[in-house]
Structure 1
Amino acid sequence: MSVSGTDTVQHLYANHHAWLQGWLRRKLGCGFEAADLAHDTYVRLIASRRLPEPEDSRAYLMQIAKGLVVDLYRRRQIEAAFRESLALIPEEQWPSAEARAIVLETLSEIDAMLAALPAKVRETFMLSRFDGLTYSEIATRLNVSVASVRKYMLRALHACLLAFGE
């Protein structure tokens, strides 16, 4: 249903925000994060320009919120891995706070782009770029042809170009 449907965002917010924030608080164990994600849920809802039927409102909001919770946990994993990497070098060699924020944002964008790819395309890209395998080695490991590996890499590289506006 479009935003001009029978239920408005204002109506959804008035009727379901407290419930959604409570659900998120129980899920996350933190009222501040719950408030942030409840807000982000409505931002995504507005950006989608689609509203659920009134009887599906809570399920629809919960679906959006669950995706945001997954995003939050993925971001935490990326941040933890980045902190572990920083711990391996002397603190005086760490990038500035601004540079660290840019790196974390970029890593999150890469993670989201990779997560959106089909499994074989993602695995092909990872094996090639991070493990350094040749296309022949990847084909053997994935039990596909070298032509398929080329096709998967082309698709992954195209996704990279789209994600980073090149």
Structure 2
Amino acid sequence: MTRDSTAAFAAFYRAEHGRLLRYFRTRVGRDEAPDLVQETFARLLRSGAFERMDNPQAYLTRSARNLLIDRARQQQQSQALIFPFDEGCDAPVYPEQTWRIEEADLRRAYGRALRAMSRRTRRVFMMHRMRRMTYMEIAKQLGIGDKGVQHHVSLALARIRRALAGWSVAG
């Protein structure tokens, strides 16, 4: 900056300081207004365009308005609440009590389905599923054919499927 431009800027500063101070006081209050006035003039000086401007008052007013917008954005960002996610503390807790209740309900429905089967179908199914016996072993023990074992197991599975049709696995 030359000596003439420094003198011109100083004169401009003295002429516009009061107007800009009133502008900021009405918008942010008495305490913060002087700092914002200084920042606005500093922006104008840093731009290096003061000497080439046709209307520096309009530039100053626009710069003051932009400074208020920037300040509002910063305040809005600083007020945002950020809660860090901690895997150990914030991991979802599954409803174990609900699962136990559902398990008990499921077991009751399963038991009702078993009790509703004929005695032979229930016996074949239990031998196959609980004792882990093969169809051949069941057929030998009960004196029926493999096809008979398959028939009883498929009947039992169909009945259980119907009884538990409304259930789904939670999780």
TM-score interval w.r.t. the shorter chain?
Answer: 0.3 to 0.5
Larger % of helix: which?
A: 1
Structure number with bigger Rg? 2
Name the TM-score, length of structure 1 as normaliser: 0.43
